[in-house]
Structure 1
Amino acid sequence: MDDGRRSLEEIEQIALGRRSLTLSEDEERAVTRAHAFLCEAIDQRRRIYGVTTGYGPLATTNVDPKQSALLQQNLVYHLCSGVGEPLSLRHVRAMMVARLTSLVRGHSGANPVLIDRLQAWLDVDLVPEVPARGTVGASGDLTPLAHLARALSGEGRVSLRGGRWIPSREAHQQLGWKPLVLRGKDAIALVNGTSATAGIAALNATAAQRALKLSTLLVLLYAELLAGHREAFHPAIGELRPHPGQRQLHHWLWSLSADSGALTPWQPTPEPLPDMPDNIEQHRPLPQDAYTLRCAPQALGAVWDVVEQHAQTARIELEAVTDNPLLFADDDLVLHGGNFFGQQLAFASDYLNNALIQMALYSERRIARITDPAKNKGLPAFMQPLDTGLHSGFMGAQVSATALVAELRSQAMPASIQSIPTNADNQDIVPLGTIAARRASNSLEQLYQVLAIEALVLVQGAELKNMSSLSLASRSLCTWVRELAAPLEQDRPLAEDIARLAQALADPDKTASLTALLDAEG
């Protein structure tokens, strides 16, 4: 049996418009079975929240099934209260994928026609305008999903194939479609779930995994520029502190550095101490490196643990049915509960956000050390090779990295603990998961900007040292960066280089050759 599970990477590709979403036969049958069961339950005049009753505190009121279409339409109308700038097209597509993935489990009762239309919207790249703010994530992501439902009904605005916003009805006319009329449980099945949060979290998960892998490659190049001690990467160190992330980072860094001639090699048998007086030699090189290098497996390993925990939470949520009520056709049951309450993703997103901020901090500290001539072992100040003083090199870029980290820190307050009762105290606790997921997404964007600055600086350093002894991984990174940004010989504006490189680093396809270096090591 094909359970239709989709990996985070597949969902990312669909959200980016680089892959189609295909439903399995099992999913199509499950949708048909659940909808038939719903129709039968309505004919029996069973009490079903949001189908034969009002909503929220008004659920005590009964609604004639003949008013089904108007009830569903009014649900969409009163929830279309989102404000602020629109969510990005990729976030909305991810939301649509997450909603479809939940509905096709066969416990929501959505009309198969609705399922087909959602799938068709993704295929032709028709994306509704969805305001970013206005959901507390308590009864699901009611507000953003309502804007999707409104667009499916031929109202609001949409973007077709990435174009400008146009009226939804105009797009329907261009495509030869009739807007949907939502009936039965269609509207509440659409809006009453965690799919905005889950979709954004899915994209955050893959972007965070990618950022960690790229940061690992940058750490290796940084270590080579400073002739760091390879000993700190030894896997035996991780075995004695067996956190999965730390062990993974030891494995990656040890394996990738095996062919490096730039690191200080590890000697299983240390040299004996020379005869010397007891006084300390003040100017001998330290036998151990600064923590940005020596503690990289511990620091980034801890981040990897958080990233993987967040990814697992996103995977589980994307395999879940998160609306209310839930239909169990095989057992003749309609159960009312709270699967729409997005607390798990709220906690996971806040936890991820802390790790992302810390990863940006590590990068900024590496940039600071490698551009400081008092600490960078012979490299010029701010990597400026010609007429230092007349030219300032990466001085401004280093300040920008510091500013980005400062701003990230100011956005570190958890959203998941900010519960405010609403909805006439019906929603007396709320998780605010969408805010947490959006914040983590913003942090990822700024993290990639910091990593872009670091990549520019480190590659410049490698060229200034003319380091033919770099590891294959570092040489590959240098080649990749140089395809996007030229060396800095004389001062020039760097904003465009940083933006172009940050965008490329965040792209799963453009960085595939780099992340494959780590994936090959397991």
Structure 2
Amino acid sequence: MTVTVAPTGVSPADVVAVARHDAPVTVGEAAVAAMARSRSIVDDIESSGRPVYGVSTGFGALAGTSIPPGRRAELQHALIRSHAAGVGAPMPREVVRAMMLLRVRSLALGHSGVRPVLAQGLVDLLNHGITPWVPEHGSLGASGDLAPLAHCALTLLGEGWVVGKDGARHSAAEALHAAGLRPLDLAAKEGLALINGTDGMLGMLLLAIADAGHLFAMADLTAALAIEAMLGSERPFLPELHAIRPHPGQSASAANIHRLLQDSRIMDSHRDDLAHAVQDAYSMRCAPQVAGAARDTLGFVTTVAQRELGSVVDNPVVLPDGRVESTGNFHGAPLGFAADFLAIAAAEVGAISERRVDRLLDVTRSRQLPPFLTPDAGVNSGLMIAQYTAAGIVAENRRLAAPASVDSLPTSGMQEDHVSMGWSATKKLRTVLDNLTSLLAVELLAGVRGLQLRAPLTPSPAGRAATALVAPIAGEPGPDVFLAPVLEGARDLIAGRHLRAAVEEATGPLA
């Protein structure tokens, strides 16, 4: 798959393909023409001598400082060097690649006044696998992701650092030379156009959206396994009960769980048992209400991200009629709010998952399962401490669910007196989703162990498919084992697509 950047932008799937799968990138002819038209307007401004922010003036609080023509290229290079001021560990490769592609997309929209060679320079970095060293701290989300994008731009100049295949820091100049690439010299406005935008936070949000969609489906699977293992009822998931409260995410989640519970001898064993509980606990019965609300939140966040993908977020922008206007479109509030909202939803999907795990392990509530899902409790602790781990992660997710976007610290001599913290919001969202992966892994392990302990009764086709993949990692119920690698294996099953594919082959596609 080759991703071609057009004047209309790129798709979310394009971003994932380039960021995670190293898809090659090209700049389409129409995008080249759009950038050339925009650049001609900046060239006309340069020759006219009229003052325009970012072209013939300083930046931020220095916007009133006039820059003579002979020093305007120097201004752009100085801007990149001074703004590449991040600190901390490098951001993951996939984030940096997403950020670079999105900056190409922004330039290709034809409102930034840059030469096409600038976009091609970023494309060359992507296609040669050169990843700038972008520290994790430095962005306030307004004016966009200045510091992270400046670290990317610095590599174009043959300065700064890149991340090698060994994970260590290397010279950008040496990396360019090894790839047969030459450093770029910037013209008027080009330095500003390389760094003024929401590309870092948007890249992280798009990757998070892709992860969250998969994890919310896996949350329905692990919930179904736990409910089946605890002799829960399938009746709360009947479609007619969710049609009368028509939240689309709730209906989708309920339909998943209901289908996953079908054709189970375990479910058949207690369907007509009068002693069976009339109502299951909330963590079982209300699984689709929580996971479904998270799905609807994801739908809103996806809409925000798609709008941003088609947006011009540079400043100033070059309009087709020749005007160059200052905007506030670089402000990351839409993305920060969305990321915080999704973090809250994902944290709650994890929280209710942990409650089902706790119930599975508690002999007083698990409906005749042995304590901590071990057949020899006392000498063996079973999954007792796995639930401790889950509880600790839930507590961390609660802290991470506190919104970053309500915070703001003024900068640049009070010129930039309100910032979005969108970078922080999207960065911590990624951590919440990584934590959710771990929480669902614990529930997967506990649910399968519970199904194994119901033998000789056989589980649903979904339960059998899950057990077939978990058993080689976790073994059969018995003496305690070193649990950390088992949990890592379960994490891989949750994060990957193999388990989902096996379950869907047995039951049909998950929504």
TM-score of Structure 1 vs Structure 2, range by shorter chain: over 0.9
Do structure 1's residue 502 and structure 2's residue 502 form an aligned pair?
Answer: no
Do structure 1's residue 128 and structure 2's residue 132 form an aligned pair?
Answer: yes
Where does residue 228 of structure 2 map in the other structure? 224
Displacement of 1:484 in angstroms is 5.0
Displacement of 1:410 in angstroms is 2.4
Do structure 1's residue 310 and structure 2's residue 305 form an aligned pair?
Answer: no
Find the aligned partners of 1:512 and 1:31 in 2 and give their Cα distance: 43
Displacement of 1:77 in angstroms is 1.7
Where does residue 407 of structure 1 map in the other structure? 396
Find the aligned partners of 1:433 and 1:384 in 2 and give their Cα distance: 45
1:77-476 superposed matches below 5 A: 77-161=81-165, 163-263=167-267, 284-329=275-320, 331-385=321-375, 387-466=376-455, 469-476=458-465
Find the aligned partners of 2:379 and 2:324 in 1 and give their Cα distance: 75
Find the aligned partners of 1:429 and 1:181 in 2 and give their Cα distance: 33
Q: Deviations over 1:190-231 (max 9, x none)?
A: 110011111111111111111111001111111211222111
Displacement of 1:44 in angstroms is 2.6
Q: Structure 2 counterpart of 1:80, which letter?
A: A
Do the aligned partners of residues 231 and 201 (structure 1) sit closer, same or farther apart at CA in structure 2, a change above 3 Å counting? same
Q: Could you tell me the TM-score, scaled by structure 2's length?
A: 0.92
Displacement of 1:63 in angstroms is 1.4
Q: Structure 1: which 5+ residue stretches go unaligned? A: 272-282
Contact 2:161 2:170 in 1 (8 A): yes
Q: Deviations over 1:423-481 (max 9, x none)?
A: 11111111111111111111111111111111112122222223664333333333333
Do the aligned partners of residues 503 and 3 (structure 1) sit closer, same or farther apart at CA in structure 2, a change above 3 Å counting? farther
Contact 1:124 1:161 in 2 (8 A): no
Q: CA RMSD in A?
A: 2.5
Q: What SS does structure 1 have at the residue aligned with 2:124? A: helix
Q: What SS does structure 1 have at the residue aligned with 2:266? A: coil
Q: What SS does structure 1 have at the residue aligned with 2:388? A: helix
Displacement of 1:344 in angstroms is 0.4
Do the aligned partners of residues 468 and 103 (structure 1) sit closer, same or farther apart at CA in structure 2, a change above 3 Å counting? farther
Do the aligned partners of residues 220 and 321 (structure 1) sit closer, same or farther apart at CA in structure 2, a change above 3 Å counting? same
- Identity, in percent, stands at 35
Find the aligned partners of 1:197 and 1:63 in 2 and give their Cα distance: 31
Contact 2:270 2:276 in 1 (8 A): no
Identify which range, 117-126 or 28-37, moves more after superposition: 28-37
Find the aligned partners of 1:511 and 1:316 in 2 and give their Cα distance: 33
Find the aligned partners of 2:298 and 2:489 in 1 and give their Cα distance: 25
Find the aligned partners of 2:338 and 2:410 in 1 and give their Cα distance: 22
Do the aligned partners of residues 70 and 409 (structure 1) sit closer, same or farther apart at CA in structure 2, a change above 3 Å counting? same
Do the aligned partners of residues 322 and 496 (structure 1) sit closer, same or farther apart at CA in structure 2, a change above 3 Å counting? same
Displacement of 1:288 in angstroms is 1.5
Q: Could you tell me the TM-score, scaled by structure 1's length?
A: 0.90
Q: Structure 2: which 5+ residue stretches go unaligned? A: none
Contact 1:126 1:161 in 2 (8 A): no
Displacement of 1:45 in angstroms is 2.6
Displacement of 1:95 in angstroms is 1.3
Q: What SS does structure 2 have at the residue aligned with 1:474? A: helix
